Structure 1
Amino acid sequence: MRFSNLLYVSKKNRHLDMWLRAGGLLICILFCIVSAGVFFFVHKNKEAVMALLSILLCLLPPLVQILFSCRIATSIYLVTLVYALGGLIGNGYGLYYLTAWWDKGLHTLAGVLFALFGMFLAARLNREKPCSLWLRVVFALCFSMAISVLWEFFEFFADRLIGTDMQQDRVVNMVHSYLLGDQPGQVGTVEKITHSQIGEKIFPGYVDLGLIDTMTDMLTETVGALFGGVFLLLDRDRHPAFCSVPRPVMKNNGSSKKVETPAVSVPPMEEADTTQQEMTQTQFQQTIIYQVQTEQIPNAQAKPEEKTQQQNGAPPDAV
């Protein structure tokens, strides 16, 4: 993979990159702390705990960089921080209930982000035998969709064990079910459901218990993964979202020393040309020495024959 386009930054851009990352992380953490204080003040303890837990989610991008020895592109880094606050904003500030696109937008964004990370994992797991671009993209898509399935598992068990409503229910006006059939194995249909009653609550239709929400969440995350896969195919590793960085080098005494990664791993053109000229001159000198040695060996073998001919009184060129 081509990492030089992300590793190379000028000194001015490097400082800007550092400030963007540190500033974005600090703003997100302060937002979580202030939100927790506000929620505790208005006696929303559940939302306050969620705000404190969101701090851990904001620390995931730098933690991923440390654990996987990689560097996340600054744009993806900042988008990931915003995504980490999505649950807090949606649940604590009511965007989940005020608009339907907030939840679907987060799932679509998750599909893209996990597809990009899956692309990096495919390259990391096959460093010795790199696989083709198409195989890595397929792995990235499958990885992103698998994460969406695991998340829906989490929502299901949270609703059953804790009593939450992460798999949000909705009202439908038509039901197809084997339970409504006249005979076993026959599907019964009820159309134009105008109202249903659960306890004292009357709904303008039948209450679906999270099935539609679960399926639409997985579909939107799959769409996001497909968008990420198309981008990866078109980009062809020119702008990787995650790139590997070298690990610390061990000294002879066993202590480790972290080596700074240069901004550009490729030497400048002048140094490269000088190095190539030095190698060419060295190869030329070695070739001359080899030719001289091969010419001296036959002469050295011919000297005993010349001495024998001189002792017999014959000239050296006589046959």
Structure 2
Amino acid sequence: MSDQETKPAGRGKVIVYIVIRVLVIAVMIAQIFNHNWDNVFTCALTLILLLLPSFLSSKMHIVLPNTLEIIIICFIFAAEILGEVREYYVLFDRWDDMLHTLNGFLAAAIGFAMIDILNRHEKVSMNLSPAFVAMVAFCFSMTIGVLWEFFEWSMDMFFGKDMQKDTWLTAFNSVALNPEGANVPVHVDVESVTVNGQVWDKYLDIGLYDTMHDLFVNFLGAVTFSIFGLVYIKNRGKGFAARFIPTLRQDKKERSSKSA
């Protein structure tokens, strides 16, 4: 990639960093005036998370493509500030779906890069096929998705949160409601549900549908990137996926080859 191509992208990354941080600080100040200390903590956490790309890049001696870094920054802002503080998760039905799909895509890119770097390292005797690398990237992304759902469940169970959003159902199938006690599900159309004297015309599912939906869209993101990554390896460094795959820093490569 030429200097003319990387310099505008580098300037764009700096501009995004500055704009996002200014917005986060402005939101934090507003939340302080509103005495909403949970949101103040969320804003502080966001500022810390925004340092992660640069921190990981320096400590792990890897180069993050500008496109990947910008998307990570925007992802953090969209999840924490827009999603939590500005309540986009409630205002927009597909906001959570979009973020989980993107998370699956990005996690696959990171998993792909880790295996590909090891696969090409002089000190590591690995020669994995492109298909196997793509499969590992997919599995890594899905594992991250599952661990995140564990985190959401833990926050709901032990800290009284509602990260696993509820789903209203008008019908369901259940073995427990089989009048004969047989292991055969019966279909139930919900007409009314009474909870603490309040009558609902739907059944409230607590978290299950949300969790499975999140994992499914994470799956779509992971599969999408794994396909792009497969093309990337076969064309070595070219293609759409090159914008999202971290690489080993050049000086680190040189030191590794000299010490080998």
| Preserved contact between residue 117 and residue 247 of structure 2 (Cα < 8 Å) | no
Candidates 10, 26, 35, aligned match of 1:34? 26
Paired residues for 1:58-97 under 5 Å: 58-88=50-80, 89-97=82-90
Normalising by structure 2, what TM-score?
0.86
**How many equivalent residue pairs?**
242
Is 1:169 paired with 2:166? yes
Shift of 1:52: 1.2
Shift of 1:181: 1.9
CA distance in 2, matches of 1:188, 1:14: 59
2:45 maps to a residue whose letter is L
Shift of 1:190: 4.8
Normalising by structure 1, what TM-score?
0.71
Shift of 1:202: 3.4
Moved more, 23-32 or 180-189: 180-189
In structure 2, list runs of 5 or more residues that go unmatched. 256-260
State percent identity of aligned pairs.
Answer: 24
Shift of 1:185: 4.2
Question: Using a 3 Å threshold, how does the CA distance of structure 1 residues 223 and 180 change in structure 2: closer, same or farther?
Answer: same
Question: Using a 3 Å threshold, how does the CA distance of structure 1 residues 75 and 174 change in structure 2: closer, same or farther?
Answer: same
CA distance in 1, matches of 2:102, 2:78: 10
1:92-131 CA-to-partner distances (Å, cap 9, x unmatched) read 1121111111100000001111111111111233323232
Candidates 183, 186, 195, aligned match of 1:186? 183
2:174 maps to a residue whose letter is S
Aligned to 1:218: 215
Aligned to 2:91: 98
CA distance in 1, matches of 2:182, 2:142: 32
Is 1:118 paired with 2:116? no
Shift of 1:248: 9.6
Question: Using a 3 Å threshold, how does the CA distance of structure 1 residues 198 and 233 change in structure 2: closer, same or farther?
Answer: same
1:122 maps to a residue whose letter is I
CA distance in 2, matches of 1:183, 1:198: 26
| Preserved contact between residue 194 and residue 204 of structure 1 (Cα < 8 Å) | yes
Paired residues for 1:237-252 under 5 Å: 237-239=236-238, 240=242, 241-245=245-249, 246-247=251-252
2:248 maps to a residue whose letter is S
Compute the RMSD of aligned alpha carbons.
Answer: 2.0
Shift of 1:201: 3.9
Larger radius of gyration: 1
CA distance in 1, matches of 2:204, 2:31: 31
| Preserved contact between residue 170 and residue 210 of structure 1 (Cα < 8 Å) | yes
Question: Using a 3 Å threshold, how does the CA distance of structure 1 residues 99 and 42 change in structure 2: closer, same or farther?
Answer: same
In structure 1, list runs of 5 or more residues that go unmatched. 251-319
